């Protein structure tokens, strides 16, 4: 475990070993999460979060619907374990 000291501006430098291990370079966006008795630093998500469509949203799939058995066969065939 390594320790760092806060500057008068509240800044600190992450040790080089940690930056190297996580491939963090200058400009890497990090998120700081306060969990009460600990602080977590992790990389910011590169994409904005998405949400699942409402159940009322019309499907864009226009072909015939597949049964569960059809889907199982397709998965097995793709996995190389044909039934």
Return the minimum-mean-pLDDT range out of 17-26, 36-45, 74-83.
74-83
Look up residue 35 and give its two tokens.
Answer: 């969990």
Does any domain span residue 80?
no
Inside any domain, residue 2: no
In a domain, 59, yes or no: no
pTM for the structure as a whole: 0.50
Is 1 within a domain?
A: no
H or E, element range at 71? helix 68-79
Residue 70 lies in a domain: no
Number of structural domains, the chain? Answer: 1
pLDDT for the residue numbered 83: 52
How is residue 74 written in tokens?
Answer: 């397709």
Domain that holds residue 32: 12-47
Distance of CA 69 to CAs 11, 73, 75, 83, Å? 58, 6, 10, 11
How far is the C-alpha of 68 from the C-alpha of 63, rounded, in Å? 15
Question: pLDDT: is 73 or 53 the higher one?
Answer: 73
d(CA 57, CA 72): 26
- What would the mean pLDDT of 59-70 be, rounded to a whole number? 85
Check residue 81 and give its pLDDT: 67
pLDDT at 66 over 90: no
Domain contains 72: no
Residue 17 has pLDDT above 70, yes or no: yes
């Amino acid at each position: 475990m390594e320790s760092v000291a806060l500057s008068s501006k509240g800044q600190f430098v992450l040790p080089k070993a940690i930056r190297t291990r996580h491939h963090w370079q200058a400009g890497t966006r990090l998120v700081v999460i306060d969990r009460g008795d600990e602080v977590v630093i992790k990389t910011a998500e590169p994409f904005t979060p998405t949400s699942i469509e409402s159940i009322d949203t019309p499907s864009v799939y226009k072909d015939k619907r597949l049964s569960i058995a059809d889907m199982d066969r397709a998965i097995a065939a793709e996995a190389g374990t044909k039934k």
